[in-house]
Amino acid sequence: MPFRLIDRKETFVAGLPVRSPRRALGKVRDPHLEKAWFAVLNGENSGPLASTYTDHAEEVGSYYIQTVGYCCDSLDDVPPGYMISRLPAERTQSSL
């Protein structure tokens, strides 16, 4: 199977954390998550929209916390009340 290597630089995502066990348990809609996205989409963002997942829950094989926000380059780009998730640089492979 053909594949390509992808080098991703270190990335920071600034956003609003949402503890969302409904998503981890397979529920499609979560009003808390929708409110967070609404706040992010109606605010001033300095980068492209992004989302990260943290707080892995092994018992359900999913994540409980989703951070919804945008990619940022520095702490100066982060408004008060937002948290930052750091995605380390890595090399991955993707099928073509």
pLDDT, tens digit, 9 for 90 and up, residues 3-14 = 888 898 998 999
Which pLDDT band, with edges at 50, 70 and 90, does 63 fall under?
low
Listed by start position, the domains of the chain span 3-89
- For 5-58, write each residue's pLDDT tens digit: 889 899 899 999 888 766 556 666 778 888 888 988 898 877 899 988 887 777
Q: Quick one: tokens of 24?
A: 């981890």
Asked whether 39 and 14 are in contact (CB, 8 A), the reply is no
The span from the first CA to the last CA of the chain, in angstroms, equals 8
Would the pTM of this model clear 0.75, i.e. be above it? no
Q: Torsion angle of alpha carbons 5, 91, 83, 31, nearest 10°?
A: 40
Half-sphere exposure of 8 (CA within 13 A, CB side): 12
